[in-house]
Chains A and B, each alone.
Chain A
């Protein structure tokens, strides 16, 4: 079953077409890598799917709101890791604070950063911040997790850890679409590749 379907997507930036007639779909539990040269519009496609930017044409079919892990994480600087993960379930889904925090701790622990729950973003390493950002996105139970250049701020050892994490999440039924130019990482994740020309 298709979670995300993109048909004839067109994206313009400053009046210049950067993506034209892009077609692809992502099935449930699938791990897909959107690849292409620098400037090919990988990030723009993710932002259009997340409705952070408008597309210039085409269709995006998606049930529900995506989870988005930004290249530079964008964790809320005024909140601890735990609060970053719990804030949206409380204020968007209407869950109780206690329930949201229990679930946030479970997610952080499953991603290997349970012991950093009370730390603030500026106290986290690049790899820790990224895993907190993944937990924050997953806390909303999105139908699909979008990740923009997930290996940009990681050393080789951490890239291996992240690949293992994404494979595990996909095995648990999570659907993941990532924009990357890192072929080794895509190979390690055993992800299906969609190429933007």
Chain B
């Protein structure tokens, strides 16, 4: 009887529930956006952070009500919006997503609902020198990865020899421009206006560098819903609801009536500046291979130097905690606990952005310092444990022979502790190799960041992910092998 009840329950779960759910039309429109993108796109309402506000929030509301549903916000990272839409994590992605041919090839993309121009932002002091991208030969120009602006910069890199620098957010490109870490920023005018408002020493150049459009993205299989949404957008263009949204957010300009007139008449939108076309993954892999190898070298160099720093500082901390006076031990323990108790990502932000007004570190130096000092805390605990694992008899023998404390550490205790520490140190180095990917948040393009740029540009993680994994293994496996050999040689 009991088995029958369980079987009946399973049947109900397997067949009954999906049928019941499928029978009802969906009552909500799940729309994905990145609240970290901030105003005017999507941001947490300052008066009630449980809700989001922004023009994309209002566009989503128009779409949901047009479908007879209620909008439901789903938070997603900006760079993963496209992949999440393709996976079906939400019905539509709306967060200042740009229209590109590659995106149209992979997803069901709506008609554009806003036209923007790409703006070059420079320091006011440089306004006479830099009048367009062509004037920025050999200069560092900041932007967001996987955007139309990034495509434009890649083309300009080939044509004008400028150096694109990618950021994860749209705030720090402008603050770094004000600090002199980069020489210009290329982003759409919405972001550029916001960046200039926050940094009075900056200005936007008059001449635009390209035209782009914001669109909604849906899974490729969702063409029917996309067509219904296109109809709702056209209606909202004609009846002025979109205009009132963009007026409310201070974004309405003469480009929009022209765009809406064309789209309402079922004409295509004007072409954008994007040249990113779809290429097969193998061609893309060949094209990206040099950049991936260069990024691998950066990862290797960064990890090796950061580990050396971590070992040196970690050994000093461990010695201080074992031999130091109470005040020294207290200070070093506090350092270890603070560093271990806070995320590495936060520490990198503080070192690079947080103290930039006082110490303006280059990105690579900040990455080295952040990784090295963070891992020093972990290393110090390994060394402290290893030092305390050396038998007390060894120390008494050194004392009886008249060796001093530091001589004993250098000649007897340290070398023996090193043997205990080698295996966990190897583990830590492999972990550091992978944690080095976090430094991409402070603009260092290492292996993982290069992979994500590669993946975003070809719209697939399969080949870039496989290449990236293979390169990490090439770095880490010989290291583990060498450590095992050293350990074996010590044991015999």
Specify which chain A residues have a CB less than 8 angstroms from the CB of B401 in the assembled complex: 87-88, 92, 136-137, 140
A50 touches B394 (CB 8 A): no
Specify which chain B residues have a CB less than 8 angstroms from the CB of A65 in the assembled complex: 402
Closest to A91 in B: B407
Which positions 410-443 of chain B face chain A at CB distance < 8 Å?
Answer: 411-412, 415-416, 419
| Contact A140 B396, CB 8 Å, known A78-B416, A87-B411 | no
Partner of A74, one of B397, B403, B407, B419: B397
Partner of B400, one of A66, A78, A87, A91: A66
Greatest chain A CB density within 10 A among B400, B402, B403, B416 is at B400
Greatest chain B CB density within 10 A among A50, A77, A136, A137 is at A77
Closest to A72 in B: B393
**New A-B contacts (19) at CB < 8 Å, excluding given A52-B396, A70-B396, A70-B400:** A50-B400, A52-B399, A65-B402, A68-B397, A74-B396, A76-B397, A76-B411, A78-B415, A78-B416, A87-B411, A91-B407, A91-B411, A92-B401, A92-B402, A92-B403, A137-B400, A137-B401, A140-B401, A140-B402
Closest to A50 in B: B400
A74 touches B415 (CB 8 A): no
Specify which chain A residues have a CB less than 8 angstroms from the CB of B419 in the assembled complex: 78
A70 touches B393 (CB 8 A): yes
Specify which chain A residues have a CB less than 8 angstroms from the CB of B415 in the assembled complex: 78
B403 touches A91 (CB 8 A): yes
- Say how far A81's CB is from chain B's closest CB, in angstroms: 14
Q: How far is B411's CA from A77's CA once the two chains are assembled, in angstroms?
A: 11
Which positions 44-97 of chain A face chain B at CB distance < 8 Å?
Answer: 50, 52, 65-68, 70, 72, 74-78, 87-88, 91-92
Closest 9 CB pairs of A and B: A74-B397, A88-B401, A68-B400, A74-B393, A92-B402, A78-B415, A78-B416, A76-B412, A91-B407
Q: How far is B397's CA from A92's CA once the two chains are assembled, in angstroms?
A: 13
Specify which chain B residues have a CB less than 8 angstroms from the CB of A52 in the assembled complex: 396, 399-400
Closest to B398 in A: A76
Closest to B412 in A: A76
Q: How far is B411's CA from A92's CA once the two chains are assembled, in angstroms?
A: 12
Q: How far is B448's CA from A121's CA once the two chains are assembled, in angstroms?
A: 47
Partner of B397, one of A66, A70, A78, A140: A70
Specify which chain B residues have a CB less than 8 angstroms from the CB of A67 in the assembled complex: 400
Q: How far is B400's CA from A65's CA once the two chains are assembled, in angstroms?
A: 8
Which positions 263-279 of chain B face chain A at CB distance < 8 Å?
Answer: none
Q: How far is B396's CA from A66's CA once the two chains are assembled, in angstroms?
A: 13
- Say how far B391's CB is from chain A's closest CB, in angstroms: 8
Interface size class of A (residues with CB under 8 A): 20 to 34
- Say how far A112's CB is from chain B's closest CB, in angstroms: 21
B393 touches A88 (CB 8 A): no
Q: How far is B399's CA from A81's CA once the two chains are assembled, in angstroms?
A: 18
Q: How far is B411's CA from A50's CA once the two chains are assembled, in angstroms?
A: 21
Specify which chain A residues have a CB less than 8 angstroms from the CB of B400 in the assembled complex: 50, 52, 66-68, 70, 137
Q: How far is B398's CA from A137's CA once the two chains are assembled, in angstroms?
A: 11
Specify which chain A residues have a CB less than 8 angstroms from the CB of B396 in the assembled complex: 52, 70, 74
Q: How far is B411's CA from A87's CA once the two chains are assembled, in angstroms?
A: 9
Task: Supply 22 A–B pairs (Cβ within 8 Å), ascending by A.
Answer: A50-B400, A52-B396, A52-B399, A66-B400, A70-B396, A70-B400, A72-B393, A74-B393, A74-B394, A74-B397, A76-B398, A78-B412, A87-B411, A88-B401, A88-B402, A91-B403, A92-B401, A92-B402, A92-B403, A92-B407, A137-B401, A140-B401
Specify which chain A residues have a CB less than 8 angstroms from the CB of B394 in the assembled complex: 74, 76-77
Which positions 370-413 of chain B face chain A at CB distance < 8 Å?
Answer: 391, 393-394, 396-403, 407, 411-412
- Say how far A91's CB is from chain B's closest CB, in angstroms: 5
Q: How far is B406's CA from A91's CA once the two chains are assembled, in angstroms?
A: 11
Q: How far is B425's CA from A78's CA once the two chains are assembled, in angstroms?
A: 19
- Say how far B470's CB is from chain A's closest CB, in angstroms: 39
Closest to A140 in B: B401
Greatest chain B CB density within 10 A among A68, A70, A76 is at A76
Q: How far is B415's CA from A166's CA once the two chains are assembled, in angstroms?
A: 33
Specify which chain B residues have a CB less than 8 angstroms from the CB of A92 in the assembled complex: 401-403, 407
- Say how far A36's CB is from chain B's closest CB, in angstroms: 22
Specify which chain B residues have a CB less than 8 angstroms from the CB of A88 in the assembled complex: 401-403
Q: How far is B117's CA from A7's CA once the two chains are assembled, in angstroms?
A: 97
Q: How far is B411's CA from A88's CA once the two chains are assembled, in angstroms?
A: 10
Q: How far is B401's CA from A136's CA once the two chains are assembled, in angstroms?
A: 8
Q: How far is B407's CA from A65's CA once the two chains are assembled, in angstroms?
A: 17
Specify which chain B residues have a CB less than 8 angstroms from the CB of A140 in the assembled complex: 401-402
Specify which chain B residues have a CB less than 8 angstroms from the CB of A91 in the assembled complex: 403, 407, 411
Which positions 129-150 of chain A face chain B at CB distance < 8 Å?
Answer: 136-137, 140
Specify which chain A residues have a CB less than 8 angstroms from the CB of B397 in the assembled complex: 68, 70, 74-76
Q: How far is B398's CA from A75's CA once the two chains are assembled, in angstroms?
A: 9
- Say how far B175's CB is from chain A's closest CB, in angstroms: 52
B416 touches A77 (CB 8 A): yes
Closest to A65 in B: B402
Q: How far is B405's CA from A91's CA once the two chains are assembled, in angstroms?
A: 12
Q: How far is B363's CA from A33's CA once the two chains are assembled, in angstroms?
A: 70
Q: How far is B403's CA from A66's CA once the two chains are assembled, in angstroms?
A: 13
Q: How far is B398's CA from A92's CA once the two chains are assembled, in angstroms?
A: 10
- Say how far A111's CB is from chain B's closest CB, in angstroms: 17
Greatest chain A CB density within 10 A among B394, B402, B415 is at B402
Q: How far is B419's CA from A140's CA once the two chains are assembled, in angstroms?
A: 28
Q: How far is B415's CA from A74's CA once the two chains are assembled, in angstroms?
A: 15
Q: How far is B393's CA from A87's CA once the two chains are assembled, in angstroms?
A: 17
Closest to A78 in B: B415
Specify which chain A residues have a CB less than 8 angstroms from the CB of B391 in the assembled complex: 74
- Say how far A63's CB is from chain B's closest CB, in angstroms: 14
